[in-house]
């Protein structure tokens, strides 16, 4: 085969199709403690919208008092994770990429409605553009060419994704359970401390009452002893005395206190002691 025939053979070869684009799974980005988005007032307003919307949904689902609150199911940290992925949210199901699942039925719909309200109230064009550039930069850093997945490979990838979601959901459920246990322990400790304080206050009050009663009894005993040692003159009037030198009769002497007055004074002391003991 000559050179011309070889060139003709190469020319007649079919055009090779372009390779399929690399299949890239959509990954959520997580907000870290020193993330730059934490300084954005627009994204902070989104976090507030999401937080308030979920709180309303939680109060509707659980109208009675519960040991766990809305923050135990959807805290502001998860709201900030959503704020970092605003570029991939176009429908309620997109929240499943960021969250492990719905903590309460209707959570994704509720959050998406709050997201739409935020978009209508805030200038979000620059925020969305910044989020897209941030995602492209992250994808370039972790870019790699992958071969097209077969049917079996797609099933394996889907099963792996579901397993990751289940693991994430289980870890968050465990965190909620631990938070509830900590709250219950704190509540029990607080109740125990209040009970002990009430017991101490009651004992102090009883000791004070006993001390007052003892003091009143000692005062009464002291007054009784003083009254017994005192001579109480009689009420009997003596006959008029003999006439004086000038012939006038001497008037009878006045008496000071009687035994009846002494008894009344003792009764008043007893009443005073009883009132002190009751106080």
pTM > 0.85: yes or no: no
**Nearest-angstrom CA–CA distance, 73 and 57:** 11
pLDDT, tens digit, 9 for 90 and up, residues 64-88: 777 788 888 898 999 999 999 999 9
Q: For residue 40, what are its two tokens?
A: 């954005």
Give residue 49's pLDDT.
94
**Quick check: 52 pLDDT over 90?**
yes
Q: CB count, 10 Å around CB of 80?
A: 20
Give residue 119's pLDDT.
92
Q: CA–CA distance from 250 to each of 73, 234, 254 (Å)?
A: 106, 19, 12
Among 18-22, 150-154, 200-204, where is mean pLDDT lowest?
18-22
Sign of CA dihedral 93, 52, 182, 106: negative
Q: For residue 249, what are its two tokens?
A: 């009769």
Burial of residue 8 (number of CB atoms within 10 Å: 0-12, 13-18, 19+): exposed
Q: For residue 44, what are its two tokens?
A: 């902070």
**Nearest-angstrom CA–CA distance, 226 and 220:** 10
pLDDT, tens digit, 9 for 90 and up, residues 205-262: 999 998 888 888 888 888 878 766 555 455 445 555 555 455 555 454 444 444 454 5
**Quick check: 55 pLDDT over 90?**
yes
Give residue 267's pLDDT.
61
Give residue 46's pLDDT.
94
Give residue 147's pLDDT.
54
**Quick check: 37 pLDDT over 50?**
yes
Give residue 258's pLDDT.
46
Complete DSSP assignment for 189-236? HHHHHHHHHHHHHHHHHHHHHHHHHHHHHHHHHHHHHHHHTSPPPP-P
Q: For residue 130, what are its two tokens?
A: 């910044």
pLDDT, greater one: 48 or 258: 48
pLDDT, greater one: 159 or 110: 110
**Nearest-angstrom CA–CA distance, 274 and 209:** 11
**Nearest-angstrom CA–CA distance, 66 and 74:** 15
**Nearest-angstrom CA–CA distance, 44 and 122:** 11
Structural domain spans, the chain? 24-140
Give residue 176's pLDDT.
87
Among 47-56, 95-104, 205-214, 234-243, where is mean pLDDT lowest?
234-243
Mean pLDDT over all residues of the chain?
79
**Quick check: 29 pLDDT over 90?**
no
Q: CA–CA distance from 213 to each of 200, 205, 265, 273 (Å)?
A: 20, 12, 19, 7
E strand or H helix that includes residue 80: helix 76-83
The interaxial angle of helices 259-278 and 151-228, nearest 10 deg, is: 170
Burial annotation 119-128 (CB, 10 A radius, 16+ → b, else e): beeeebeebe
Residue 238 backbone phi and psi in degrees, to 5 = -85, 155
pLDDT, greater one: 118 or 279: 118
pLDDT, tens digit, 9 for 90 and up, residues 132-186: 998 888 877 665 545 555 677 777 888 888 888 888 888 888 888 998 899 899 9
Q: How confident is the model at residue 263 (pLDDT cuts 50, 70, 90)?
A: low
């Amino acid at each position: 085969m000559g050179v011309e025939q070889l060139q003709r053979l190469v020319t007649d070869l079919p055009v090779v199709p372009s390779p399929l684009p690399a299949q890239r799974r959509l990954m959520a980005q997580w907000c870290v403690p020193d993330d730059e988005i934490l300084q954005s007032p627009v994204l902070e307003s989104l976090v507030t919208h999401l937080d308030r919307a979920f709180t309303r949904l939680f109060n509707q689902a659980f109208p009675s008092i519960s040991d766990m609150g809305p923050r135990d199911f959807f805290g502001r940290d998860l709201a900030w994770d959503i704020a970092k992925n605003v570029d991939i949210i176009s429908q309620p199901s997109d929240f499943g990429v960021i969250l492990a699942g719905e903590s309460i039925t209707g959570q994704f719909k509720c959050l998406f409605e709050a997201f739409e309200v935020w978009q209508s109230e805030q200038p979000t064009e620059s925020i969305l553009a910044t989020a897209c550039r941030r995602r492209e930069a992250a994808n370039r850093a972790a870019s790699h060419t992958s071969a097209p997945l077969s049917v079996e490979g797609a099933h394996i990838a889907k099963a792996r994704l579901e397993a990751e979601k289940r693991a994430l959901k289980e870890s968050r459920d465990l965190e909620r359970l631990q938070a509830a246990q900590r709250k219950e322990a704190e509540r029990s400790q607080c109740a125990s401390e209040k009970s002990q304080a009430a017991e101490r206050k009651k004992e102090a009050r009883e000791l004070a009452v006993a001390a007052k009663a003892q003091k009143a009894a000692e005062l009464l005993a002291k007054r009784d002893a003083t009254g017994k040692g005192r001579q109480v003159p009689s009420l009997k009037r003596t006959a008029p005395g003999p006439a004086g030198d000038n012939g006038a009769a001497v008037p009878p002497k006045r008496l000071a206190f009687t035994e009846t007055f002494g008894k009344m004074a003792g009764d008043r002391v007893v009443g005073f002691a009883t009132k002190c003991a009751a106080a």
